[in-house]
Chains A and B, each alone.
Chain A
Amino acid sequence: DSGVTQTPKHLITATGQRVTLRCSPRSGDLSVYWYQQSLDQGLQFLIQYYNGEERAKGNILERFSAQQFPDLHSELNLSSLELGDSALYFCASSVWGVPNYGYTFGSGTRLTVV
């Protein structure tokens, strides 16, 4: 157990639907990062939050949004889902806002869009 908790572990949903992925960072970590991993795109950075505020944005689609709550857990919302959104979605956390230390990753949410 890495200390980063992601739920659910698996999610199967239909095209056009909306889902919410949840992440609880390791205790004491203020920064949360979301990554998407697919076979053809590799690990793609989506978005980072630090202590409740958006810090950096990557290749995140407009259909996707995220937030970090006062208790530091984060949610990634994916809407109008398409087949191509099927992927592993990882959350990672770190103490600070800059990666001078390693990230701690959760075990991921496997999203299948049918």
Chain B
Amino acid sequence: SQQGEEDPQALSIQEGENATMNCSYKTSINNLQWYRQNSGRGLVHLILIRSNEREKHSGRLRVTLDTSKKSSSLLITASRAADTASYFCAIISSGSRLTFGEGTQLTVNP
């Protein structure tokens, strides 16, 4: 499959801790994107990292990209209960479509 694959499938942490999610993929990419989905809701775009970038920050989010290992990680620092959601990485597969992985279910306990 060309889609990104997230690891772990599920992650449970305490408020204030950091959460790290990983994404691996198999094809060459133009960019890799991370999305969040609250239960049963639409996906929200979090951050996009281009293939020539190694690290990107947005607020409490830090994304890294290692194209040699075909992997990316999303770090959420000082997590809050409101960060509880599913997190998906997405890559461009054939043509112009974004292909999503299975997601990581993050639970932040108060």
Residue of B nearest to A47 (CB): B97
Where the two chains meet, the residues of B that have a C-beta atom closer than 8 Å to any C-beta of A are: 30-31, 33, 35, 40-45, 48, 88, 92, 94-103
The reply to whether B96 and A88 contact each other, CB–CB distance below 8 Å, is: no
What is the minimal beta-carbon distance from A3 to any residue of chain B, in angstroms?
Answer: 11
Query: Does A8 sit at the interface, judged by CB under 8 A?
Result: no
Contacts from A to B (Cβ < 8 Å)? 2, 4, 31, 33, 35, 42-43, 45, 48, 50, 55-56, 58, 88, 90, 92, 97-108, 110
A20–B97 CA distance with the chains assembled, in angstroms: 23
Q: A48 to B96, alpha carbons, bound, how many Å?
A: 9
Q: Are the CB atoms of B97 and A42 closer together than 8 Å?
A: no
Q: Is the CB of A98 within 8 A of B92?
A: yes
Q: Which 4 A-B pairs have the closest CB atoms?
A: A102-B45, A105-B42, A43-B100, A56-B95
Number of CB contacts from chain A to chain B under 8 A: 66
Q: Which residues of A contact B92 (CB under 8 A)?
A: 98-99
Q: Nearest Cβ distance between residue A102 and chain B, in whole angstroms?
A: 3
B88's partner among A4, A43, A98 (CB-CB below 8 A) is: A43
Give the residues in chain B near A4, CB-CB below 8 Å.
42
When distances are taken between beta carbons in the complex, the residues of chain B under 8 Å from A48 are 95-97
Residues of B within 8 A of A101 (CB): 48
Contacts of A45 in B (CB 8 A): 97-99
A102 engages B97 (CB within 8 Å): no
Closest to A104 in B: B45
